[in-house]
Amino acid sequence: MLYKRVISGLLFLPIFYLVIWRLSPPYFTVLVLAAVAVGQYEFYRMARARGINPDTVLGSVMGALVVLESHHPLLFGMGKIYLAAGLLLIMIVRLFSPRPVEGAVEDISSTFTGIFYVAMLFSFQIAIRMGTNGKEWLVFLYFVIWASDIGAYSIGIPFGKHRLYEKISPKKSIEGFIGALVASAGVALLCRRLWFMPPLGLWEAVVLGLVLAGVGTLGDLTESLLKRAAGVKDSGNLIPGHGGILDRMDSMMFAAPVLYYYLRIR
């Protein structure tokens, strides 16, 4: 399992470097659009595994519009019109659907959740990229979250004895969580010393690394909750050693909004 994760990461690094560092923001937006499309498909597939019937087409269209709105306001900043109209349309389509009345709440709710949980949380990465020193902060975010993942895996697997939250994720341990915190804080400090980062204070780097790792762990546990509720091991099988897009990006999806709003008030 470990070697698959390493190989997958090494194959992704050139794409990551090219799209985030060398190319202009629209290319990153296209990459996020593709990830959101796959992520929503995975989420809706998990919902269908529980007998729920989300509107995959409308949900995916709305998800794409949410992502595009983060890149550039649509219709002169009237993106909320798209969102409101789309949400109303999803409910109206379900209203006149030939499906039974029973399950309507679950169908509509799962469609909405796919939009907000996947598309909206993913879109914060674009918002970070479009901001001041955007590509630098986005690289910082990825490095810290990757360090959290590696730290948790490297310490938790051989040394984990005390369960972190057994009801949701029996394999996650307190030792692994500590490893994630230490690794993230260490990489945040390392980034502070690298040439590409904007000025970042010593304690600011440490606290930011710890907070992002902690929030990322909550994202990981949330994804585990959804998979356990759906009765599946992984959200997909797109990435060897990791599972699906949601399995790989669950921590990032929770950490990106935190970093974005921190940068807004910094």
Q: Lowest-confidence range among 5-9, 12-16, 106-110?
A: 5-9
Question: In angstroms, rounded to a whole number, what is the distance separating the alpha carbons of residues 176 and 114?
Answer: 29
Question: Quick check: helix, strand or coil at residue 64?
Answer: helix
Question: In angstroms, rounded to a whole number, what is the distance separating the alpha carbons of residues 214 and 255?
Answer: 9
pLDDT at position 7 is 60
- Range of the structural domain that residue 141 is part of: 2-265
Higher pLDDT, 116 or 15: 116
Higher pLDDT, 6 or 148: 148
Mean pLDDT over 23-48 rounds to 94
What would the two tokens of residue 159 be?
Answer: 């040394």
Cβ-in-10-Å burial (0-12, 13-18, 19+) of 264 comes to exposed
Question: In angstroms, rounded to a whole number, what is the distance separating the alpha carbons of residues 29 and 48?
Answer: 28
Q: Specify which residues 163 forms β-bridges with.
A: 173
Mean pLDDT over 226-253 rounds to 83
Question: In angstroms, rounded to a whole number, what is the distance separating the alpha carbons of residues 182 and 85?
Answer: 45
Higher pLDDT, 197 or 36: 36
Q: Could you give the percent of the chain with pLDDT greater than 90?
A: 64
pLDDT at position 244 is 87
Question: In angstroms, rounded to a whole number, what is the distance separating the alpha carbons of residues 160 and 153?
Answer: 9
pLDDT at position 30 is 94
Domain count, the chain: 1
Residue that is written with structure tokens 């598309």 in the block = 119
pLDDT at position 75 is 52
Q: Is residue 78's pLDDT more than 70? A: no
Q: State pTM to two decimals.
A: 0.90
What would the two tokens of residue 90 be?
Answer: 């999803």
Model confidence at 153, pLDDT cuts 50, 70, 90, reads confident
Segment 58-76, tens digit of pLDDT: 999 999 999 998 887 765 4
Q: Is residue 239's pLDDT more than 70? A: no
Question: Quick check: helix, strand or coil at residue 140?
Answer: helix
Question: Quick check: helix, strand or coil at residue 122?
Answer: helix
Segment 81-91, tens digit of pLDDT: 778 888 899 99
Higher pLDDT, 238 or 22: 22
SS3 percent helix, strand, coil of the chain, rounded to 5, is 75, 5, 20
Q: Is residue 46's pLDDT more than 70? A: yes
